[in-house]
Structure 1
């Protein structure tokens, strides 16, 4: 697709070329008002980097459960989220079965010098000793994701008509989260329970999410009022970007938090295995957005999606 053109199969979600001389600000505004989603190409990130992360993470996920359990944490922690740890549908008040996934979770770790903030939001990451090559790959990816996210936020500020620094002046020392989500097939999981998804329907909680995903039958779907649920458009050269609840509040409701889900592993492709790299970019701790304290909101939502899995 050309810069700013829309894919009707994905609910009018455009691909925006970040390298274009004149970004498609009108298309960005329309898409975020309708679906809360974009695709971004022209980002300059070498595709071999996410591929290498997937290869290393896959080696971890295929380790015996007792090895992975050494890194087990609850939602919002830094480590391994095992089967049954998370149910994103809880954020909508829906009593869904736990999500059909495992995750390796990392987050911001560069201290601010404020002990009360650092103790909650800037703790050291836990790196699995069994896959030592993962750490340098993820650290490089995180640096590139932060730069890309600020670039995207600059465009969003312009699309909102508020200037390129409208959001980025609040990302001087932001928090972020990064999940490597592994979606195994039915040959490992068995038959999904009724109403069970790889990730249940929800909206993200924060500012902006940048997703590197793989195509699959049991993949990402996006919800719009006019079209209901539809498969998200896929471009292997583009990142999928969606805005979260705080961004929707930040715009006074002009833009909508992108509601989405990840379908269960399909019955006609029972061995389908997918892996997504999900970067949740937030703002500086202490930022108040239209009366909402950003990180109190984030913590409450992370707690809300914690299922009754066997974690510590």
Structure 2
């Protein structure tokens, strides 16, 4: 039976558990990452106040008129506001949707800036400045930054546990994440006023894999998230009470030569009486340094499966963003695209 396991990561959260407790968490994570690629984590230490601050921030911004929100759009960049039907996530795998740029979610993205890393020469394309709707939604930035910092902490906790699960030396990834491209994409599944009645084929968020190391997701406990299982069947996943959903990205799958799974997923919130049930989510993407090279990790080589060709974090992300935002199919996404093709045929 398909399940997304619930794992208590408290032994890796300060105050730390003992070696045996941590080893058991690492063992469970290894199984989940190998078999499913998705995990529900509890014991993460994120307070309800922080989550409430995030949801208040989302409501404050998304309740604004569409024309006001569009003032914060930055077309072609992975920052700022993205209106409904301006992206097609399935094209990040080079798989065209029936109607490109028809994902009906709207989103707001913030992330790492060059100015956060003194003395490091970083490309503006990977580390652009953020846009904040301070005038239109004064409490937005405070709530978002508090959540961003907590999600960033949880992602580093998980990477420590992953290092143990893979049998790597302590601190193995430190030099690959010390100026990580971290991005928070806050999604609102809805349609603008005047277009609420559903007409024709629409996609909440097209089928895709995430691009980086791992994703930490908060979401409303509303149906919509679906995960592609190993047999090519879409499975519904809904957050457990108090849990954060974590999934692996393409960088980790490539590093482990598919020992661990970057699982294809999509979002289609339910439609009732011709209207979409609103669903909010906030996906924190822990992507790694722009110049970190993704190549097979020690202990992950296989005689039956050649490793992926080396690629930098930035090149991998930029190729997939170009697919998502501009419809340009990326090179090197053949394994993921093949799995999605199987699902579309079933």
Same fold by TM-score greater than 0.5? yes
Alpha carbons 1:208, 1:247 under 8 Å: kept? yes
Q: Which runs of 5+ in 2 are unaligned?
A: 12-16, 296-309, 328-346
Output the aligned Cα RMSD.
Answer: 2.2
The counterpart of 1:189, out of the listed 193, 196, 205, is: 196
What TM-score do the two structures reach when normalised by structure 2? 0.79
Of 143, 146, 149, the residue aligned with 2:152 is 146
Structure 2 residue aligned with 1:30: 31
1:17 aligns with 2:8: yes
Matched ranges for 1:54-65 at <5 A? 54-65=55-66
Match of 1:71 in 2: 72
Distance (Å, rounded) in 1 between the aligned partners of 2:216 and 2:53: 18
Contact between 1:204 and 1:244, CA under 8 Å: does it hold in 2?
yes
1:126 matched residue in structure 2:
131
| TM-score for both structures, normalised by structure 1 | 0.88
Structure 2 match to 1:46: 47
Deviations 1:179-225 (A, max 9, x none): 1100126985322533x3211111111111000011223x1111111
Indicate the residue corresponding to 1:162 in structure 2: 168
Name structure 1 gaps, 5 residues minimum: 1-7
Q: CA deviation at 1:75?
A: 5.1
Q: Deviations over 1:30-85 (max 9, x none)?
A: 22112211111101111222222222222222222221121112254321100121
Matches of 2:110 and 2:315, distance apart in 1? 19
Pair 267,164 (structure 1): closer, same or farther in 2 beyond 3 Å: farther
Cα pair 1:74 1:85 within 8 Å, conserved:
no
Partner residue, 2:275: 270
CA deviations 1:228-251 (Å, max 9, x no partner) are 111114213111000111110111
SS of aligned partner of 1:69: helix
Cα 1:24–1:12 shift into 2, 3 Å: farther
Whether the 8 Å contact between 2:269 and 2:278 is mirrored in structure 1 is no
Tell me which stretches of 4 or more aligned residues in structure 1 moved more than 6 Å: none
Q: Is the 8 A contact 1:75 1:81 kept in 2?
A: no
| SS of corresponding position for 2:50 | helix
Count matched residues: 297
Greater RCO (Cα-Cα under 8 Å, separation 6 or more): 1
* SS of structure 2 residue aligned to 1:121: coil
**Do structure 1's residue 302 and structure 2's residue 321 form an aligned pair?**
yes
CA distance in 2, matches of 1:132, 1:210: 25
Higher mean Cα deviation, 184-193 or 158-167?
Answer: 184-193
Residue pairs, 1:214-229, within 5 angstroms: 214-217=220-223, 219-226=224-231, 228-229=233-234
